[in-house]
Chains A and B, each alone.
Chain A
Amino acid sequence: MSLARTGARTTGPRTTGPETTGTRNGKKRTAGSIAWHLGSLAVLAVILYPVVWVIGGSFKPNDEIVGSLTLFPTDPLTDNYQRLADGIADIPISTFFGNSLFLAVGSVVGVLISSSLSAYAFAKIGFAGRGVLFTLMIGTLLLPYHVLLIPQYVLFQKLELINTYTPLLLGKYLATDAFFVFLMLQFMRGLPKELDEAARLDGCGHLRTYWSIVLPLCRPALITSAIFTFINAWNDFMGPLIYLNEPEKYTVSLGLKMFVDQDGVANYGGMIAMSLVALLPVVAFFLAFQRYLIDGMATSGLKG
């Protein structure tokens, strides 16, 4: 099932569900609609409770956060946010955000280039050994990352690359994230064959077909991959935890961990304020691109 086809199906006119096809009267339909909305709102309340609680909590004084059931403070304070300006362990939090941004953007560039190249080769080039490489690629999809943790660390340690960003970025430029290769490959398979055949007849080599024809048509898959990569890199904890050991190089995740280690339960206010600020880029991406994310997610499951 290609992304193109799924997209068309989800955005196209929907057939009505069994509930509305019968000869029900209007009253019953309204009752069903109200019940449906009540059910959905109940789920929404459970989902949102922690988020609302923590937003309210970030405006409360420390001793009121834990131990108070009210969602919102009686008189809101911005102290928790103001204190963030002092940084964590004398490092301004803008440093952590800058580092995370650098890693996330660097990862996006790497994944887009390397994964689309591999996907193009699998989808459009009939080279010898394609089947074997494809099987290996799918195999890495299911491989637990932790098997590679120790030996990769040993490798980067021998190369004296510990406490640099190279170990965190290199894999992105070498298409090790098979999920994105697979996502783009599925999309490319759905493109009409006539397009690249026409391009070849007009004298385009593979590089030009890839760059001028296939890539522009793959925009939705590229956007989906870019956002997922950004969010994954932004949220990544284990990679930076293992490879970075100088606080000036820490990412936001490690900055938060430092906060936890340093203050423990004493400073919940500052901790959750910082947590919320750390989530802002992810939430912004979600609000702007949720359609791409959800369609991309749905596709990954349809052709398992």
Chain B
Amino acid sequence: MGAAVTSAPNPAPRPERVTRQDVETAPAGSASGGRPPGAPGRTARPHRARRENLAGYLFMSPWIAGFLLLTAGPMVASLYFAFTDYNLFDAPKWIGLDNFTEMFGDARWRTSVEITGWYVVIGTPLKLAAALGVALLLNQSRRGQGFYRAAFYAPSLIGASVSIAIVWRAIFSDGAAVDRAQQVFGMEAGGWIGDPDRIIYALVALTVWQFGAPMVIFLAGLKQVPRELYEAAQVDGASPWRRFWHITLPMISPVLFFNVLLETIHSFQIFGSAYIIGSQGNACGPADGTLVYTCYLYIQGFENSRMGLASAMAWMLLLAVGLVTAVLFWSQRRWVHYEEGAR
């Protein structure tokens, strides 16, 4: 499409240039019309391809160096460390599967799996439900929409910071705002921060508070749903609920899939907020109430210098995330509808 459009208005000055430039830089497809028969295109093509390859790898060189040095190499090393006893200073000693057997037998490890599991299973759906609900509310052309969208998005930018973790500590501590509100409703007294069983819900509240990022993605998806569908459904007398269930949800299912995938993977990796929110001079306190998986990985690796064990833990995390990703991709055939002709 492009070549035809641009060459039509000024066909005169081009051909002489093309014959010259074709040798060096013109892309293979674009010159097809302009090249006069017998031009040096055929002999020049291997030369051109070599130049493209050279340019490509020069532009890619930072990424390739980064990939080898900081991603691929470390992954191989990590896989090796997972089967060794390694404290960073003595040479790694091969111990086979000992790290894994120790890990599975460790009650604290199981606690961290449990806490992370709860966090992912409760936090992610709540956050996405909030994001979708508010996106549906905002998806109307009314004055102030832009303001609300921006305001609701803001927590996503600051939510992961140490500052907000400290704010959360204050709000959820004994006698503070949340404690008082509970007493008003006749619930059990006491803040959530000091209670190892309830502190995880402070963390869940923090992630739900950051619903803005998936909300923005939902909103962009909702904007693409054709209005005619709703109008037709309304003519047919479909209730708002049926319109949501049979039009909105299928139409935004690719965006929903993307959000579920991304938020789930992120939830598995929560660290900073969990570290700070319960910390009392020690990471992830009190009584391991916010001992999420990465917190325990940090403790084993950097506080106990168990680099081998921590690597084994990291690989278990990778397996878990990989498994969840695979299941999500497998399940999308059943519930994600891609428009025909869409990429």
**Inter-chain contacts of A282 with B (CB < 8 A):** 157-158, 161
Contact B150 A294 (CB under 8 A): yes
Other-chain residue from A16, A43, A193 in contact with B152 (beta carbon distance below 8 A): A43
Other-chain residue from A19, A152, A204, A256 in contact with B70 (beta carbon distance below 8 A): A152
B interface residues, how many (CB within 8 angstroms): 115
Most buried by A among B63, B271, B343: B63
B window 123-179: CB within 8 A of A: 134, 137-142, 144, 148-155, 157-158, 160-164, 166-168, 170-171, 173-177
> With an 8 A cutoff between CB atoms, is B25 at the interface?
yes
Most buried by B among A157, A272, A274, A304: A304
Contact A148 B70 (CB under 8 A): yes
Q: Which residue of B lies closest to A137 (CB)?
A: B63
Q: Which residue of A lies closest to B21 (CB)?
A: A201
A window 207-264: CB within 8 A of B: 210, 231, 234-235, 237-238, 241-242, 252-253, 256-257, 260-261, 264
A50 to B163, CA, bound (A): 12
Contact B25 A176 (CB under 8 A): no
Contact A140 B302 (CB under 8 A): no
Contact B25 A302 (CB under 8 A): no
**Inter-chain contacts of B77 with A (CB < 8 A):** 151, 154-155
Min CB gap A141→B, angstroms: 9
Contact A148 B166 (CB under 8 A): no
> With an 8 A cutoff between CB atoms, is B199 at the interface?
no
Contact A301 B258 (CB under 8 A): yes
A180 to B75, CA, bound (A): 22
Min CB gap A234→B, angstroms: 8
A window 101-131: CB within 8 A of B: 113-114, 117-118, 120-121, 125-128, 130
A200 to B74, CA, bound (A): 40
> With an 8 A cutoff between CB atoms, is B11 at the interface?
no
A251 to B70, CA, bound (A): 23
- Known contacts: A18-B227, A256-B162. The answer to whether A40 contacts B315 by CB under 8 A is no
Other-chain residue from A130, A148, A272, A279 in contact with B71 (beta carbon distance below 8 A): A148
Interface string of A261-287 (1 = CB under 8 A from B): 100110010011011101100110010
Contact A302 B152 (CB under 8 A): no
**Inter-chain contacts of B304 with A (CB < 8 A):** none
Other-chain residue from B6, B142, B257, B301 in contact with A33 (beta carbon distance below 8 A): B142
> With an 8 A cutoff between CB atoms, is A31 at the interface?
no
Contact A302 B56 (CB under 8 A): no
Other-chain residue from A147, A174, A198, A257 in contact with B162 (beta carbon distance below 8 A): A257
- Known contacts: A237-B272, A272-B170, A275-B162. The answer to whether A140 contacts B71 by CB under 8 A is yes
A125 to B81, CA, bound (A): 38
Contact B30 A265 (CB under 8 A): no
Given A271-B166, A286-B154, 9 other A-B contacts at CB below 8 A? A50-B209, A117-B62, A146-B294, A155-B74, A157-B88, A203-B25, A204-B25, A272-B167, A294-B149
**Inter-chain contacts of B49 with A (CB < 8 A):** 128
Contact B60 A118 (CB under 8 A): yes
Listed in ascending order, the chain B residues whose CB lies under 8 Å from chain A are 2-3, 5-6, 14, 17-18, 21, 25-28, 30, 49, 52-53, 55-57, 59-60, 62-67, 69-71, 73-75, 77-78, 81, 88, 134, 137-142, 144, 148-155, 157-158, 160-164, 166-168, 170-171, 173-177, 180, 209, 213, 216-217, 219-221, 223-224, 227, 230-231, 234, 254-255, 257-259, 261, 265, 268-269, 271-272, 275-276, 279-281, 294, 297-298, 301-302, 307, 310-311, 314-315, 317-318, 321, 325, 343
Contact A173 B166 (CB under 8 A): no
Listed in ascending order, the chain A residues whose CB lies under 8 Å from chain B are 6, 9-10, 14-22, 33, 36-37, 39-40, 43-44, 47-51, 53-54, 57, 65-67, 69, 113-114, 117-118, 120-121, 125-128, 130, 133, 136-137, 140, 142-155, 157, 170-171, 173-176, 181, 192-194, 197-198, 200-206, 210, 231, 234-235, 237-238, 241-242, 252-253, 256-257, 260-261, 264-265, 268, 271-272, 274-276, 278-279, 282-283, 286, 290, 293-294, 297-304
Contact A66 B213 (CB under 8 A): no
Judged by DSSP, the binding face of A is helix
**Inter-chain contacts of B314 with A (CB < 8 A):** 144, 146-147, 149-150
A69 to B255, CA, bound (A): 40
**Inter-chain contacts of B65 with A (CB < 8 A):** 174
Min CB gap B331→A, angstroms: 15
- Known contacts: A9-B223, A66-B170. The answer to whether A118 contacts B155 by CB under 8 A is no
A200 to B55, CA, bound (A): 14
A66 to B174, CA, bound (A): 8
**Inter-chain contacts of A192 with B (CB < 8 A):** 2
**Inter-chain contacts of B134 with A (CB < 8 A):** 43
Min CB gap A218→B, angstroms: 14
Min CB gap B224→A, angstroms: 8
Contact A253 B161 (CB under 8 A): yes
A130 to B315, CA, bound (A): 28
**Inter-chain contacts of B63 with A (CB < 8 A):** 114, 117-118, 133, 137, 174-176, 181
A206 to B55, CA, bound (A): 7
